[in-house]
Structure 1
Amino acid sequence: MFVDRVELFVRGGDGGRGMVSFRREKYVPRGGPDGGDGGDGGSVIVRAVANADNLAPLTTKKHWKAKPGEPGGGSLCAGKDAHDLIIPVPPGTIVRDRDRGNILKDLVNVGDEVTVGQGGKGGRGNKYYATSTNRTPRQFGPGDDGEERWISLELKVIADAGLIGFPNAGKSTLLSRLSRATPEIADYPFTTKIPNLGIVNISGDAAFVLADLPGLIEGAAQGVGLGHEFLRHVERTRVLVHLVEPFPTDGSDAVQNYRTIRKELSLYSMPLAEKPEIVCVSKAELTGSEEVKERLAKELNLDVLLMSSVTGQGLAQVVGRVAQTIADLKREEAEEAARRKPIEFSTEKAIRTGDEVLP
């Protein structure tokens, strides 16, 4: 079962109570207070981990509560802090405060994490309350309550390239041909209802992640069909590989179908519509597919590839084009990151302010 949305109740552990205690020694009849502080409660943390691919494991447990800190002891012994409670999620998970709707963090990479339920601070022992006028305090801190709230988790699949197109355009077949992924394949709409990921090996250790995304139809930007489910996941991809079926079984026109999907992308998100796109006419084994490719290229002024997942025609060209586009984008991202890197100044050098030199 694939689950990409879930709501959870989280609560940090309460802080342990402080201790009321007094020294009891044979030759110290009036020993002072020696109550230790309570330990801090554990926090609830959402963390992106490598071995998770969807949110299904979280559907069986809706409430996550960290343990409380231990109470303080005598002889100024502090209570132990409780361990944090980790909620493992896949990279690409967006964490929101459910009631406020604000994003707490977008967990893009493995190791990214956010504290969603802060543990309570441990209470003070009576030693803390001793004063010159109160040498035997019996006050203590009860420990703070842990933070609690409802959170919503939303997974957006992260892939280098995403296959888009009308249902039955051949996306699942292409993914299974290029990788070891085994998506469900059949000749009816919406075979793919969940994103499927595959690793496409290029040469040596070089590879990219390819996602087969649910089919898109007219009205998707308003949620028709699997619209919002599709569009949410495609936002994460660097490159769009747009498959156009030359002879749709419903009798629709290939060129118009291409225009329809481009329109839906623009209606949902302009940044999404502006992603680099590689257009491919699928099912090259069908007679007349070459003519459809030429018409698409001419009417839309596009560079269109022709390929077949059945015969293998054009697959190497498609993989090469996708790999090169991804490499170009990564290089541009690295150059942009380098331009934005702040200038570092040595702290050992003097700072000049006017004519004065500060040591």
Structure 2
Amino acid sequence: MEKSNFVDQIRIFCRSGHGGAGIKHFLRDKFNSKGGPDGGDGGRGGHIILRGNRNLWTLLHLRYHKNVLAEDGENGGHNNRTGRNGKDIILEVPLGTIAMDEETGEKEAEILEDGQEVIWLPGGKGGWGNTHFATATNQAPEYAQPGLPGVEGWKILELKVLADVGLVGFPNAGKSTLLSVITAAKPKIADYAFTTITPNLGIVQYRDGRSFCMADLPGIIEGAAEGRGLGHRFLRHIERNPVLLFLIPADSSDHRKEFEVLLNELEQYNPELLHKEMLIAISKSDMLDDELREAISKEMPEHIPHMFISSVTQTGLTELKDALWKALNKKEAEL
């Protein structure tokens, strides 16, 4: 059920409403048999609007909306009556959703705030009635404008999880266990690879009532940038995290190599990811003695802070929170 309940990408056909036609009409009543033009304008076609909703965490509710068709605008009427606008369609989406055109791959909209509304596909403009075309030399115009067509096409909605800190590591590195210990999140935990197949979010409580959001993301494998394993489905979520925490288990056969493989996968997917704030945590460190800790420290890159933690004994977690908070504030100060 975990896999089916988290949907982070959908493909839908969308069409905004066509504008209503303006009409050609002349005033005719018992007092005026040859009145002037009084053709009304057509109404605007319905928009397709995206609205951010902080209570949504998945695109599941839109999964079966294969066709999103907004209402057409109404034609104009006589006596200069404007046609009714087509009814807008509002699609509520989680924060971090990006809307793209399938054919061109162009990003068309991005939702980052609760209540934010973006007119994704505008409805067609209604046509003018013949009233607009009356002039001193043409007092009885015999034409009116048709409404403009709406916008249509296959579209992609893609969710990139919004979190302050993203946990990066190979499968079974201890990311879910760490998240369960320092937040109130209850991710699925088991002693086998790919326990986590969808992102899990948790709020880390810090000092003085402050907090930040941490995301446990599906584990990377070598070749993820080319689509192996969970591939791009995992890597795109990292783009939203200003700070990356690399988790490397103490029982790894080569700690430095494991970090470099992780770093290489990020670079292959998007080189800009390397500009984020990074920290390294050696998990499961309760199995290490001082000599092994010193040996592992020598393997770690000098320019990236590292620390030893244990989610089981809760060793080093306070220091980890301090380091993450410092990295977050450093990133915010640069923006």
1:74-113 to 2 correspondences below 5 Å = 74-113=78-117
After superposition, where does 1:57-68 map in structure 2 within 5 Å? 57-68=61-72
Compute the TM-score of the two structures, normalised by the length of structure 2: 0.90
| Structure 1 residue aligned with 2:31 | 27
Alignment match of 2:189 (pick from 185, 189, 212): 185
Tell me what 2:275 maps to.
274
Aligned-pair distance for 1:164? 1.0
State the match for 1:341 in structure 2. Answer: none
Q: Is 1:173 aligned with 2:184?
A: no
- Tell me the SS of whatever aligns to 2:262: helix
The equivalences for 1:1-359 within 5 A come to: 1-132=5-136, 135-248=139-252, 252-286=253-287, 288=288, 290-302=290-302, 303-333=305-335
SS in 2 for 1:281: strand
What whole-Å deviation, never above 9, does each CA across 1:109-157 have from its counterpart, x for those lacking one?
3345543322111122232344556544443333222111111122211
Distance 2:90 2:209 in 1: 32
Aligned length: 329
Change in 2 beyond 3 A, CA 1:290/1:92: farther
Gaps of 5+ in 2: none
Tell me, in whole angstroms, the C-alpha distance in 1 between the residues paired with 2:213 and 2:283. 20
Greater Cα offset, 54-63 or 44-53? 44-53
Structure 2 CA distance, aligned partners of 1:85 and 1:48?
14
Residue identity opposite 2:326 in structure 1: Q
Unaligned segments of structure 1, at least 5 residues? 334-359
Distance 1:230 1:291 in 2: 36
Q: CA offset at residue 239 of structure 1?
A: 0.9
Mapped to 2, the partners of 1:158 and 1:291 lie a distance apart of: 39
SS, match of residue 60 in structure 1: coil
Q: TM-score, normalised by structure 1?
A: 0.85
Equivalent pair of 1:281/1:289 in contact (CA under 8 Å): no
Superposed CA RMSD in Å reads: 2.1
Deviates more, 1:88-97 or 1:188-197: 88-97
> Residue 242 of structure 1 aligns to a residue in which SS?
strand
Please give the per-residue CA displacement for 1:265-292, whole angstroms capped at 9, x wherever unaligned. Answer: 2333332123221111112332x26544
Q: Is the 8 A contact 2:40 2:78 kept in 1?
A: yes
Q: Secondary structure of 2:173's partner? A: coil
Tell me if the contact between 1:246 and 1:289 (Cα under 8 Å) persists in the aligned partners. Answer: no
- CA apart distance, 1:297: 1.3
